[in-house]
Structure 1
Amino acid sequence: MNDAKRTQSIATGKRQVSLRLKGYLVYGLLTTFAVVLAIFIFYQKKVLLEQFDNLQRLYDVEIGLHNADVRVLNAIEIQQVNLRGVDFQVGAEHVQEHLQQLLIASHKIISSSIENSAEITELFAALDTTRARPNQSTLENLSRTLEKTKRVIEQRLEESRLQRKKMVADFHERSNDVALISLSLGFFSLILLGSIIAVFFSRMARDLILLRQRGQEIIQGKRGKPVPIRRNDEVGDLANAINKMADDLDQHEKNLELERQKNFHREKMAVMGTLTAGIAHEVGNPIAAISALVQEVIDEKITGKCPYMDESDICKLHMVLDNTQRLGNITREISGLVQPQSEKFELFDLNALIRNTCNLMRYDQRWKRIQVDFHLDKNLPALNGISDQLTQVVMNLLVNALDAIEASTKTKSHIIISSVVDDEYVCLSIDDNGQGMDKLTLKKATQEFFTTKDRGKGTGLGLSLCNSIIVAHRGRLEIRSTAAKGTVVRVYLPLTIELMSEVAK
């Protein structure tokens, strides 16, 4: 039962995470992952677009370099083929036209392709010189400058091609990386989501199966161990409720068993009272006849009607008379103890109750081998309670003391019974030097159906029943025990309890 309470306490607090909240959390995580993945894809798209724009610009530059290269090559061919050996007096106009076109092409095509370079400055200088003094020498100088410019353009064109290839390779590599990362993240998210769903529903299915099995065990009357609570959601609440229901049912059944034992005790005492009354009547008649006959013989001797008897015969007759009186007293004591008592709270004398119970206990053979000391307060006030139930309490405590002493190996055994007023309570104490109890046994002593006695000698309901009766009288039961030394049981009954007309529950 304590294990059940400890397990139940795990989920008695406020629910931390409900199934709905778990669903919202998963939805939020999926949404966050989708947003992060979308941001990553758009960022990589932006980078790829920038690389594509750079590639496009490089391609335009390469086209310009190619056009400049073609234009320079064309100018070199014109100079080498058409202007070689020309008569500058006759063909000056033709030469100036060629130079003007080359100047325009240099500004529009060549300079835009290799701007901010020494070669283009040198080309413009050669053009200006040739236009100012068109002769064979300046044309040859212009041709050399054009060839140098062509080599620079070809070099720039080769560098542009290499850069373009590198940019294309980078573009393909990045696009492949983005595709691979996106697919990897997608597969990872699917695997992670599938794993979470599989673990979540497998755990839920396992817990629900345990709850179903636990419910079937409860229906079959098997209490067993409580369901371990590992969740803080609605399933955990359900497991906690089932554990609590099992504990409540177990406690209810134990209470029913205690009530059954009480009813059984009352019915047994009623039957014993009826049987004892019949036996007392049947035994009482012969005892009364024997006593009357013996008394008559003694009277006849005293009056002289029976001269054949001496004093020794008179002593024997007195012994017979004493034993008949003793038999009568025993039958009256047993009848008084077992006759049905009132089930209402009434005033009673605790000391008298103790003595009467001990008088009944003296017929137990073990009682004769034990020294019993009484320390009863003569000024003890009357108490309010059900004497029959409290007689059962005293008798159970004395039987437990006798069992503990019987199980010990001590040669001298004793029981000390005392009563005293303690503040607002009357304390009944029963002290024995039996085998005692260890801490674990003492902790479970008042639990229902817990017993250390052999099978058939105890049901485990004695102390539990005593405790329930004492609690019903608004008192308390205290037990102090040390293994191999003995046990002290104290029963505290209140002095101020009100008279109640209902039966103690």
Structure 2
Amino acid sequence: MDAPGALTAAESGMPRRRRPARLHWPRTLRGKGLLALGAALVYLVAVALHVSQQRDELNRKVGELQVLHRYERALARAEVAVYNAGLEVQEAAFGPIDGGTPVSRAIALAIESATRSLDALEEHETGSVRRVRAVERAFQALRAAPLRANWLELREALRRVQEDLTIQRDRTAHEREALTDRYQQVFRELTLQMYGLVLAGFLVFGAGVVAFFAHLTRDLVRLQQRAAEIVRGERLPPLPVERDDELGQLTHAVNRMAEDLDARARQLELEDQRRAHQEKMASLGALAAGVAHEINNPLATIAGIAQQLTALDAPLPVAVADAHGRQLLVETQRVAGVTRRIADLAAPRPADLPWLDLNAMLQPLLHFVRYDRRYRRVEFVENLAPALPAVRALGDPVELVLMRLLAAIADAVAARDARGARVLVATRAVADGVELEIADDSAAASAAPAAVRSSDERALD
């Protein structure tokens, strides 16, 4: 908390410090695609700028080569013009010379052509002015006094200029060769750089694309497998969400769907168990009359013996008392057996998948079916395998199905109202579990359980 009387940044006039903006990566697949496209475009622009700089370097080299080429041509023209002028001067220098004879027009034209060629070199070098002045001074001296010495001086000046031009031409040729080699080297480097940059960009971008789609494919396969697991009814922990894009939202949706389906399946399972228990209790209520008859008979016997004992005035003989006691024990055991079967049948089953003994489940059911007065004329024949393996299933649904099947077949047999009607109940072990058979001697048994088969197959499965 701020101290009392303290001023905030806004009240004190001080500028409020701004938090640096955080870089947010795109969360959608479209945004990631646009980001990848933007990165590729930036890379291409950077490569284009680099190539443009290298191309400017190549253009400068080409310009220098063109300048050297023009310089070489000017040197060649100047060298030819100076050489021709030198020949004219040499012929005149060794011919008959008269001190009063002026310089011929041919020599004047040759000297003029040489000086013009030397003037053309001025844009390429500064030494051409010196050569032109040397030739012009020698030529002016010759024109002023056409003596042999002046002719030789002009010839010597032209020879020095020609040697200088030859040296300059050789130097220029070497420069051109070096510049050509540099141009070729820069061109090769630029070509290799272009190939390297294109290959590096392709590899990096391709590796990123491959990694992105590999991750995307892995997540899609994982979602596909989880969807198949949900269809099969498997209950597994939720998938970890590692993405913030549409696929991550889809993973959240699949996890929520799995949780909702799991909760709904548990609710349906509880409802099935509750319904099975209620139907079992209803079946017990339907059998209550027969069970009451089975209990009333021993109770009536016990009551009769008690009345006889209370009506006696004299002590009973030991033999009579022993007989009455044995009869009472038999009747009480009979009542206890009936109540024990009722308690076993009415007890709720565990919610998980326990191991069930099918024979132990069938025997109390057959006892209660026999208590029903409707099936007094029906004989239930048991052919239960002695070494039947246990099965893993929910007890209440299986027990309800067995009661329905027994009741349906017994109703069909009892409806014929024929003596000697028999219902066979047999169990046997098979390769992948156990097999139960409830059959009648007639064809009525095949059609009787059809009404309950559709609703009972799911519980048996």
TM-score for both structures, normalised by structure 2: 0.53
Provide Cα deviations, 1:204-253, integer angstroms capped at 9, x if missing partner. 6787677668657756x464879897865434543553454345334422
Matched residue, 1:456: 390
The change in CA–CA distance for 1:146 and 1:104 in structure 2 (over 3 A counts) is: closer
1:164 aligns with 2:207: no
The one of 52, 58, 62 equivalent to 2:62 is 52
Matched residue, 2:75: 65
The one of 277, 282, 285 equivalent to 2:294 is 282
Distance apart, 1:27 and its partner CA: 1.7
Alignment of 1:223-234 (within 5 A): 223=234, 233-234=245-246
The one of 276, 301, 308 equivalent to 1:264 is 276
Is the Cα contact below 8 Å between 1:229 and 1:239 reproduced in 2? Answer: yes
Provide Cα deviations, 1:337-369, integer angstroms capped at 9, x if missing partner. x6xxxxxxxxxxxxxxxxxxxxx68x9xxxxxx
Q: Distance in 1 between matches of 2:253 and 2:307?
A: 76
1:127 aligns with 2:138: yes
Alignment of 1:111-260 (within 5 A): 115-116=126-127, 120=131, 123=134, 127=138, 130=141, 135-168=147-180, 170-171=182-183, 174-175=186-187, 178=190, 182=194, 221=232, 223=234, 233-242=245-254, 244-260=256-272
Distance apart, 1:314 and its partner CA: 7.9
Q: Distance in 1 between matches of 2:163 and 2:189?
A: 39
- Listed as ranges, the gaps of 5+ residues in structure 2 are 1-23, 358-387, 397-461
1:75 aligns with 2:97: no
Distance apart, 1:72 and its partner CA: 2.2
- Listed as ranges, the gaps of 5+ residues in structure 1 are 1-13, 339-359, 364-387, 404-453, 463-505
Is the Cα contact below 8 Å between 1:217 and 1:223 reproduced in 2? Answer: yes
Q: How many residues align?
A: 336
Alignment of 1:103-114 (within 5 A): 105=116, 108-109=119-120
Is the Cα contact below 8 Å between 1:99 and 1:127 reproduced in 2? Answer: no
Provide Cα deviations, 1:169-196, integer angstroms capped at 9, x if missing partner. 5445645665676577668767887787
Provide Cα deviations, 1:65-92, integer angstroms capped at 9, x if missing partner. 2232123223322321124356463035
Distance apart, 1:109 and its partner CA: 4.7
Provide Cα deviations, 1:30-80, integer angstroms capped at 9, x if missing partner. 322331232233223312221121112112221332232123223322321
Is the Cα contact below 8 Å between 1:62 and 1:161 reproduced in 2? Answer: yes
Q: Distance in 2 between matches of 1:34 and 1:169?
A: 29
1:293 aligns with 2:305: yes
Is the Cα contact below 8 Å between 1:76 and 1:146 reproduced in 2? Answer: yes
Instruction: State the secondary structure of the residue aligned to 2:281.
Output: helix
Distance apart, 1:24 and its partner CA: 0.3
TM-score for both structures, normalised by structure 1: 0.50
Matched letter for residue 170 of structure 2: E
Matched residue, 1:415: none
Is the Cα contact below 8 Å between 2:75 and 2:165 reproduced in 1? Answer: yes
The change in CA–CA distance for 1:120 and 1:43 in structure 2 (over 3 A counts) is: same
The change in CA–CA distance for 1:326 and 1:224 in structure 2 (over 3 A counts) is: closer
Q: Distance in 1 between matches of 2:205 and 2:124?
A: 56
Identity of aligned residues (%): 24
Is the Cα contact below 8 Å between 2:97 and 2:147 reproduced in 1? Answer: no
Q: Distance in 1 between matches of 2:121 and 2:299?
A: 154
The change in CA–CA distance for 1:37 and 1:285 in structure 2 (over 3 A counts) is: same
Is the Cα contact below 8 Å between 2:302 and 2:328 reproduced in 1? Answer: no
Q: Distance in 2 between matches of 1:18 and 1:106?
A: 74
Provide Cα deviations, 1:283-304, integer angstroms capped at 9, x if missing partner. 234423433334423541xx34
Matched letter for residue 138 of structure 2: L
Q: Distance in 1 between matches of 2:134 and 2:395?
A: 121
Provide Cα deviations, 1:358-381, integer angstroms capped at 9, x if missing partner. xx68x9xxxxxxxxxxxxxxxxxx
